[in-house]
Structure formats: structure tokens, C-alpha cells
Amino acid sequence: MTENATPEKHATSNAQLDEIRAGYSFEGGALLFGATVIDGTAHPDAPVRVPLATLNRHGLVAGATGTGKTKTLQLMAEQLSGQGVPVFLADIKGDLSGMATPGQANDRITSRAAEVGQQWTGTAYPTEFLSLGGIGNGIPIRAAVSSFGATLLSKVLGLNETQESSLGLVFHYADSKQLWLDELKDLRAVVSFLTSDEGKADLKELGGLSSATAGVILRELITFADQGAEAFFGTPEFDTKDLLRTAADGKGLVTCLELPAVQDRPALFSTFLMWMLADLYHDLPEVGDPEKPNLVFFFDEAHLLFDGASKAFLDAIQQTVRLIRSKGVGVFFVTQSPKDVPGDVLAQLGNRVQHALRAYTPDDAKALKAAVSTYPHSAYDLEELLTSLGTGEAVVTVLSERGAPTPVAWTRMIAPQSLMAPSDDATIKGIIAASTLGAKYAVATNRDSAFEMLQAKQAAASAQAATPAPAQAGPPASSQPAPRPAKEQPSLVEQVVTSSAFKSALRSAGTVLGREITRSIFGTARRR
């Protein structure tokens, strides 16, 4: 009991501790967040944890700048890796590269470990470093424009809903003509063709795509490419199954996507991460609710994904988040405030780690009240607590193994055991050089795709126009084939199957069927 505590308050605190102990007692594997705090005192005998079995129910890590969100990501990623679960981290600031290096003990770490009852040991974890298009540290990864799809690309380009719909028609046209869209220049070539004299007839057939809108799309693509975005699109395309690997010692691989070089293109990297999720959803089999997830995906700076998004885009995010849990993938959105995440998405995030919020303005105060209203009933004064949490403290509630919310717990978080700073350049470069992914993705490839196909088509048309028609020496030959002998006359089935109408219908059906099979919620399509 604290010096000024009354017996009644002491009894209330004990009851609260008992409730939290019972609420966070799980039978299966779990991640440890830290120790319960009552009246400012940490209680290591009341640990706050989250079951591995409910991590595919997704979660939110929120809090103002400097409150400890990144360290929360790190300690979760460490424990997931230690229990054989692969992890994906979007590393905006470069801090998370420290996962590859053992932490170094100091007075703050020692003090924190003693407070929360942690047996702290500096530990490195198996880490892979990737980068978008090779900009920055890491093995370059790319996505083909065709698999990225019109919905995601429209978000990156800042198109309105009408323009997004029109871009979808361009993708449809490229699909139907088997014009492979690998790079941005391929998509520009298709749009340029449709707005040219030669392509006007095809543009008219598309319907709903005006030449003016096509011109807007083309200008946005050119501007986007001028900003250096060409590097992010192309082949070989990254196979998201490479995120699901484990190391030789059984630890889950931590894949760290280095992103500091693309901070001036936030919509691109946030949308690229959404493409990864959509691709995982498309490829992975249904597993229901496994004992532990196949992958946990941390989506840092999540507000960038939702800023300026169309309703169709937000609906697709909601569907992806809702459905991907059945593939054994957990998604944690990391952002400054819960209000950064749309309500329909926030409602699906059953695991909540809320670091300190600020209430300096009326809008901040309103956001604070809204955040408090989303928590289960609690003995804590959450409105006061959320503005007074210290660095490395959070208010936690998660889903129990039976899917019910756990009691709200003021938690003093454990310290990460890997380095809480960037790994040195020599360590990162050594890991990159030793990676087996280098041979697979390091060198960009360039096949004959839409750009080359259309160039060849135009060259052939020009050559044909420049060649005079040959003079006919005699009467034109009959276009009808010579009749077959009676025994070789085609059957009715043969006549139907070999008819041009049947072939056209079959090609059309095959195109539509193939496109529907390979399309996911976002309209992404990987050509395999």
C-alpha cells in the first residue's frame, strides 16, 4: 500500500489487479507487453500479454511522437520472431534496423527491466533488408504496373473517382489486348496510343473514357515518372511469399523495408504496402484461426494510407483487413491517433496499444474523448491517464483466446533486447550481401511489354503504308478454300469450333475468366 492510500483504495487496487491477472492469463503462446501499473507502481506479478492466437485479429499502436510506439513495434517483432512467426516492418526512420544487432545494456534498460520483472539479454534477430526499387539500403523490390492495378495506382497519382474509373478502363484495354504493363512507360504508351489517331477507334470502343481524361492521366503519369517513381515499377516482381520465411534456428524472419529515401512520396510507399497485403490475400490459403499467425504486418505511418483516399479505396482496405485474417495474417496499424484510421477499419482492430495522447487544442481534446469512448469500462480515469502516460507506457486492451476484450491495463512496457538505434552500415551491408534474395531481385529485367509491342505495331503500320501494293497479274484468287473430299468434310461440331465467331467468343471468355481469377479486392493481378 502507498503511504497515503486508504484501506478502501488499497482494496480497490487489489481487486483491479486480480481482474487484470485473470484477464491476461492465457493457456497458449503469448507476447509480453509489460507489467500492470496501479497508482504509478508497476506490478510484475500482473503481466500484460497478448495471445499469439488472436494476433490475426489485427491491432492498433497509437500515440504522440516520442511516446514509444517504435519501441513497442520492436519488442513485439522480437517476441514474434523468437516464437517462429515471420514479421514485416515498414521502417520509415531507419530505427528498426537495430533488430539485426544485439542491444547494449545501460542504466535505463537495467532500471526498466527491474521494474517490470524482465530478464534482459542483448539479442539479435534474423533480419532481411529490402528497399523500394533500390533507393536506399536493401535489396530492391518492385511491382509490375499490371499487378499493382488501377485502384492503387489512382491513389498514388491523386486521381479523382471519375479518373480512377477511366484508368480502370485503360487497364481493361491492356488486358484484352495482352499488352503487358510492367513499367510506367508501358502504361504511358497505352494511354498515348489510345489518344493518338491510330488508337481513336479503340478509345471510342472503350466507352466512358474521354480523350480529355486520358490526357489528364497521361500528364500525371509523366509527372510521377519525373519524380523518380520509375524505379519502383518493373520486373522481377517481388513475391510476397518471401515474407513468410524462417531462419535456420527456427526464428521467424524479420523483413525490414527501408523507406527513408521515399519520404517525399508518402502515398507511394503506403500504397505499395497495401499492394503487398492484397497480394498476400490473393496467394495464401485459408487457415481459419491458427495457434499462431503466419505473418504479422506492421503498417507504420498508417495515416498516409488513408489521407485523400476515395470511398472505393477505403472500402477495399476494409475488405482486405477483414478477410486477410482468415489467411493467418495479422495487421497492426501504427499512427499518432486512433482518429487517423477510418471507423470501419478501426472497428476491426481488436488489439489496442495506446501510448500517450496530447490535448493541446480543441481538436485534440475531441480526439481524446473519442479514443476513450472506444475502450471497455475501466477503473482508470482514462481521459486523465492517456495525457499523463510516461515514455514507454501504454494503455492496453486485447482480445483473449476466446475473443473477448481483456480488462484495460495501464502497462509499463518491457525493453527491447535488440539495439534501440539503427544498426551500423557494415552490419546492414553484410546482411544484404549474404541474402539469398539478391540473386532473385537485385537486377531489373526488361521483357517486350506494352511499350515495345506498340512501338513494333506502329513501325509495322508505317512500313506497310510506305510499301506500294503489288500489281495483280490476273484475276484474284478465290478466297474460298478448296472443297474437301467427301470423307474429309468437317462435322457440325468442327464447323462451330473452327468458326471465327466461336474463336472470338472463346478468346473473350478466356480473357475475362483469367482476369477475374487473378484479380483480388484491389483489382491487383500478378501475371504468373
- DSSP for 224-289 reads HHHTTGGGGB-BSPP-GGGGS-B-TTSPBPEEEEE-GGGTT-HHHHHHHHHHHHHHHHHHSPP--S
State the SS3 of 137-194. CCEEECECHHHHHHHHHHHHHCCCHHHHHHHHHHHHHHHHCCCCCCCHHHHHHHHHHH
Q: Is the pLDDT of residue 494 over 80?
A: no
Query: What cell does 310 get?
Result: 476515395
**Residue 437 burial by CB count (10 A; 0-12/13-18/19+): exposed, middle or buried?**
buried
Question: Which DSSP helix (H) or strand (E) runs through 8?
Answer: helix 7-23
Separation of alpha carbons 226 and 510, rounded Å:
37
Position 42: which residue type? A
Q: Which residues pair with 334 in a beta bridge?
A: 61
Among 157-161, 212-216, 458-462, whose mean pLDDT is lowest?
A: 458-462
Position 267: which residue type? A
At 485 the pLDDT is 47
The torsion region of residue 237 among left (phi > 0), alpha (psi -120 to 50) and beta comes to: beta
- DSSP H helices, 37-127, are 69-82, 107-116
DSSP string of 27-43, one letter each residue? SS-EEEEEEEEETTEEE
Of 230-234, 398-402, 454-458, 514-518, the range with the highest mean pLDDT is 398-402
At 28 the pLDDT is 93
Model-level pTM? 0.85
pLDDT in tens, 42-95: 999 999 999 999 999 999 999 998 999 999 999 999 999 999 999 999 888 788
- What distances in angstroms separate CA 68 from CA 72, 257, 339, 406, 499, one per listed residue? 6, 20, 19, 22, 69
Q: What percent of the chain has pLDDT over 70?
A: 87
Confidence of residue 479 (pLDDT cuts 50, 70, 90): very low
CB 289, CB 123: distance < 8 Å: no
Confidence of residue 198 (pLDDT cuts 50, 70, 90): confident
Separation of alpha carbons 515 and 50, rounded Å:
40
pLDDT in tens, 458-473: 888 778 877 776 655 5
| Residue in 188, 254, 262, 276 with CA at minimum distance from that of residue 225 | 188
Higher pLDDT, 270 or 184: 184
State the average pLDDT over residues 345-364: 91
CATH architecture for residues 27-141+237-423? 3-Layer(aba) Sandwich (3.40)
Looking up cell 495525457 gives 387
Separation of alpha carbons 167 and 521, rounded Å:
16
Q: Is the pLDDT of residue 506 over 70?
A: no
At 251 the pLDDT is 98
Confidence of residue 27 (pLDDT cuts 50, 70, 90): very high
Angle at 309 between CA 308 and CA 315, to 5 degrees: 155
CB 89, CB 77: distance < 8 Å: yes
Question: Which DSSP helix (H) or strand (E) runs through 398?
Answer: none
Radius of gyration of the chain (CA): 29
Query: What cell does 503 get?
Result: 474463336
State the average pLDDT over residues 157-181: 92
At 464 the pLDDT is 80
Q: Which residues pair with 254 in a beta bridge?
A: 87, 127
| Residue in 392, 366, 380, 136 with CA at minimum distance from that of residue 265 | 136
At 510 the pLDDT is 40
Among 345-354, 436-445, 507-516, whose mean pLDDT is lowest?
A: 507-516
At 471 the pLDDT is 58
At 515 the pLDDT is 38
